[in-house]
Amino acid sequence: MENEFSKLIKENDSVHIFYSMTELRPYINNLASYILSAIKQGEHVLVIENERVTSLMYKELKNILTKDQLTHIHTINNFDFYFSSGSFHPPAVLDYLSRALKPFYEKKVSFRIWAHAEWSDQGEGLTLLQEYENEANRMIREQGLFVVCAYDEKRMSNSIKTMLMKYHEYILSEDGIIPSDLYQNTKKHADLTSF
């Protein structure tokens, strides 16, 4: 998977990947591959994740990466990130992201983002999530960001999952990365058939 991430990122100005996770072990493996791909290309990674997964991630990587390479991983607790205003409020989340990215830009450091949204399908959630993903897409394109958005398969309704596939140009699974057939943008997908 590490090579797929590297190839996709080399061939695109920005990337927005949807990952519907089903099991923890493959999830940790994919997260580690994303980080390894970034570090081998001299990049940093901002990981927005819960404490349990962050701990497992570091356990996985501590025997692979040097102490210096481990400093290229920056973490934010995903609950603090997505609910910084007390509830999921897209402008507050995007403001938090802008503030979190500021040091990377100031230091002129190349980076990628991995964000785990522990979403629970609630009443007005679809509208708020659409608003957030629409603005995130704009930000990703304008700033040339490379982002994986992970969601727990068990916590999503079919309507949320379908909507997310419309806002992410690629889908990550345990089998690889494929273009989303539902993506609502005219930007062409990179050819992934050579993996």
Confidence of residue 88 (pLDDT cuts 50, 70, 90): confident
DSSP class of 187: S
Pairwise pLDDT comparison (188 vs 177), residue with the higher score: 177
Q: Is 27 helix (H, G, I), strand (E, B) or coil?
A: helix
pLDDT of residue 185: 65
Instruction: Give SS3 for 76.
Output: strand
Helices 2-10 & 24-40 angle (0-180, nearest 10): 50
148-156 average pLDDT score: 92
Beta-sheet strands, E only, within 109-166: 111-117, 146-152
Position 165 pLDDT exceeds 80: yes
Of the two residues 174 and 19, the one the predictor is more confident about is 19
Backbone angles phi, psi at 117, to 5 degrees: -95, 110
Does residue 161 have a pLDDT over 50? yes
Q: How confident is the model at residue 195 (pLDDT cuts 50, 70, 90)?
A: very low
pLDDT reading at 175 higher than 50: yes
| Beta carbons within 10 angstroms of residue 55's beta carbon | 11
pLDDT level of residue 122 (50, 70, 90 thresholds): low
Confidence at 95, pLDDT banded by 50, 70, 90: very high
Superfamily of domain 2-179 in the CATH hierarchy: P-loop containing nucleotide triphosphate hydrolases (3.40.50.300)
